[in-house]
Amino acid sequence: MRGRDFSGKISDSLYLPVTLIAAIAMVIPVYILFKVSVSAPGEILTAHPSFLIKDFTLEHWVKVLKSGNLKAPFVKSFTVATLTTVAAVLIASPAAYVIARMPRKIKYPLVLSLFLTRMFPEVGIALPISVQFIKMNLIDTYTGLVLAHLILNLPFAAWILVGTFETIPKDLEEAAMVDGAGKIESLIKVITPLALPGIAVAAIFVWLNSWNEFTYALYLTVSQRTLPLQTYYYVVRGGWFDAATYATILTIPVMVVTFFLQRYMKGGYLSGAVKG
Amino acid sequence: MKRNLFKAVCLALVAILFLASLTGCGSTGTTDSSDKKEADPRKGVLKVAMGLGEEEWKVMKENVFPEFEKKYGVKVEPIQMEAGDTVKKLEAMHQAGQMDIDLITQDNMQLAQLVDKGLVEDLTSYKDMIPDAVIPSLIPVGEFNGKLYFMPYRPNVEIAFYNEKKFNEYGLKPPTNWDELLQVAKTFKEKEGIGKVVVKMNLGPDSTCHMFDFIRSAGGDPTVLNDEGSIRAFTFLKEIYPYLSPESKKADWNTPNQYLATESAYLVQNWPFTSVVVVKDGGKKEIKAYHGWAGPVKESHVLGGEVIGIPKGAPNKEMAVKFMEFLMSKEVQEILTSKLGWPSMRTDAYGKVEEWQKPYFEAVSEALKHAEPRPNLTYWADVDKAINGALREIVLEGKEVKPTLDKYHEMIEKAKQAAGGK
């Protein structure tokens, strides 16, 4: 009991500093990105750049916003990421539900087989897949990119959701059916709301992966670039300030989408669900 | 129960509609390639892929393309494609049997793969199209095994960038030969405690390029590697290495911009675009340039730049050939020189560059006088490996010069024999 008190005290006292350090470590690179995007060149291009913003300028942002090169890549990336997420959740949820309810002996080989496509390095399979997509006239199309991103994300989404559905007791479904609900109704009205946190996690994961995806976008894009490709363009061209501005813009929707979806991620949602 | 079934059917319908809309929302309509050919959606459109900066595209779109479009009644569709991505993209389209690009301009350091993989057309029959006024050394750059695959377009060469303020501070002058280079490197190391001269030693294509310059300027042949000139070059590199900047090991074609901008290097040879990134956009006006230094035998710089190619299976090959000729014309070459400060491939094309760009343009023009093309060898990858292997062992690891070069000479000879001496 004493040992538990001691470890409890340690975890209580370390909780805040560790959280703070982790948060700072994650925020600093984003801050530096932002700082470069709003600093005058003279402040950045020195041997010892300052940590704080001293010579603030919106020059780089104005240039990027006025260039006319932002809207199309932004819209393409956003649309593709959103469609990929919706498709992944719609396809993976029922599949994961069925897998979760299977006997253990079948379930695990099935989950493992989901990752078969992820066993090969992306650069290795990107070319043959892209060749097939080009044959199907899917180059430079939203459809092509969504389908390519589904190859990457469906196994992970299904895996996350299998874990989610496994935690929901089967008794809940049975109780709903005793109360007169059909199989589909109990799935929609009872199981899905309880699975929302897991679905939100899967959705965030898929959305972020698709939003940042580069390899397939590179192969399947000729003229309509995505935002990561646009950022890559400036990085390759050596345009530090444009690259930093685009990279900062790249992070904004990530924060918005994550903030929006994290509302559904609540702990303890099953406590007291089934009484003995 | 009926209500539930209805809901389930509705849900399934929504899912099906969504997936159907996904497959239909592409920007290209047909799925049958034969239909595509019949409808010929590309008629009147010439897709041109180049790797350019925003300013460069602006000049192309405003000053170069319109004239051609007016003359031939076609629309030139510009496509941004970085040199490093060209092989990947063309390979995917080629394998799919759906080439979507009509013409490319490509970095002449990255041509071998395009030829090896059969991704570009043989242009030998169009050789007469090359203007008489072309700089002669540009033609062999596009030749492989006696066939012409690429047309000359834009010559380029590395020049030496230096921080004038720091050179003045220590009373130094930009080095013009190896002795002075060594002295400058030693002075910076002594004054600042860390090397400030960068020689590219990243053990990749960039360091190969610098090794070519050193070996050739000592009278050696990099494809032989154990001749007298090569021995002198590697002996000198071993001597200067302790005084070089630690950034040398990471220096590629892009990082020197950062080194100059953040003053972790005061002297480095790099491609002329550094002047745009560091001086024009970055405002580091103290970064000046000159043509570079000579070795004990001569001054030598690897001839870089871009060439024109036509992808195999290009839908509008005939029009691409006309555009290729147009890009080599005196009129276009003068526009590129005046508006972008690109040195011309023609000896009869002159242009007035912008005031800020003049010193850098002059440095490039001077360096081009000492430019030599890199040989197009089928066993190039082995030469590249051998040069970087020798660099690693001799300079970075401190091994003996002659035995190490002999070892790598053997490696090149074996590759040469395996390739039938071509």
Same domain for B348 and B223? no
User: In a 10 Å sphere around its CB, with 0-12 CB exposed, 13-18 middle and 19+ buried, how is residue A177 labelled?
Assistant: middle
Q: What's the gap in Å between the CA of B406 and the closest CA on chain A?
A: 37
Give yes or no for residue B6 having a pLDDT over 50. Answer: no
pLDDT, one tens digit per residue, over B392-412 is 999 999 999 999 999 999 999
pLDDT at B7: 55
Q: Tally C-beta pairs within 8 A across A and B.
A: 122
**A-chain residues within 8 Å CB-CB of B19?**
87
**Quick count: other Cβ atoms within 10 Å of Cβ B114?**
22
Establish if B110 touches chain A: CB-CB under 8 angstroms: no
Beta strands (DSSP E) in A14-96 are: none
Count structural domains, chain B.
2
Give yes or no for residue A52 having a pLDDT over 60. Answer: yes
Same domain for B56 and B146? yes
Establish if B26 touches chain A: CB-CB under 8 angstroms: yes
Between the two ends of chain A, the Cα-to-Cα distance in Å is: 30
* B177: three-class secondary structure by DSSP: strand
pLDDT at B31: 36
Residue B163's H or E segment, with its range, is strand B159-163
pLDDT, one tens digit per residue, over B290-337 is 999 999 999 999 999 999 999 999 999 999 999 999 999 999 999 999
Same domain for B150 and B175? no
Same domain for B191 and B283? yes
Same domain for B294 and B391? yes
The rounded distance, in Å, linking the Cα atoms of B116 and B200 is: 27
Same domain for B238 and B350? no
Q: Where are the alpha helices (DSSP H) in B205-312?
A: 205-217, 228-240, 255-261, 273-274
Residue with the bigger pLDDT between B27 and A227: it is A227
Pairing of strands B287-290, B143-144: unpaired
Helices (H) and strands (E) in chain B, counts: 17, 13
The rounded distance, in Å, linking the Cα atoms of B293 and A136 is: 54
Residue A220 in tokens: 């399947």
Same domain for B315 and B282? no
Same domain for B186 and B143? no
Same domain for B298 and B309? no
Domain at B389, CATH number:
3.40.190.10
In a domain, B23, yes or no: no
Statement: A68-264 belongs to CATH 1.10.3720.10: yes
Residue A260 in tokens: 């929006």
Q: What's the gap in Å between the CA of B219 and the closest CA on chain A?
A: 34
Same domain for B280 and B401? yes
Q: Given an 8 Å threshold on Cβ–Cβ distance, is B97 in contact with A233?
A: no
Same domain for B319 and B345? yes
In a domain, B29, yes or no: no
pTM above 0.80, yes or no: no
Establish if B100 touches chain A: CB-CB under 8 angstroms: yes
In a domain, B2, yes or no: no
pLDDT-derived band at A107 (thresholds 50, 70, 90) equals confident
pLDDT-derived band at B11 (thresholds 50, 70, 90) equals low
pLDDT at B86: 94
pLDDT at A267: 58
**A-chain residues within 8 Å CB-CB of B281?**
41, 239, 241
Identify the residue whose tokens are 């609900």: A181
Residue A203 identity (one-letter amino acid): A
The rounded distance, in Å, linking the Cα atoms of A49 and B282 is: 14
pLDDT-derived band at A2 (thresholds 50, 70, 90) equals low
Q: Which of A67, A131, A141 sits opposite B92 (nearest CB)?
A: A131
Q: Given an 8 Å threshold on Cβ–Cβ distance, is A218 in contact with B284?
A: no
- Cβ distance B310 to B324 under 8 Å? yes
**A-chain residues within 8 Å CB-CB of B258?**
240
Same domain for B346 and B235? no
Residue A91 in tokens: 């396809």
Between the two ends of chain B, the Cα-to-Cα distance in Å is: 79
Residue A25's H or E segment, with its range, is helix A2-37
Q: What's the gap in Å between the CA of A243 and the closest CA on chain B?
A: 12
User: Which of A137, A191, A231 to probe by mutation at the B interface, max B CB count within 10 Å?
Assistant: A137
Domain spans in chain A, listed from the N-terminal domain onward: 2-57, 68-264
Tell me what ipTM this predicted complex has: 0.75
Q: Which of A47, A134, A188 sits opposite B98 (nearest CB)?
A: A134
Burial profile B285-302: b = 16 or more Cβ within 10 angstroms, e = fewer: ebbbbbbbbbbeeebbbb
Q: Given an 8 Å threshold on Cβ–Cβ distance, is A47 in contact with B263?
A: yes
Q: Given an 8 Å threshold on Cβ–Cβ distance, is B98 in contact with A225?
A: no
Residue B189 belongs to domain spanning: 159-302+377-418
- List all residues 6 or more positions away from A19 whose beta carbon is below 8 Å from its beta carbon: none
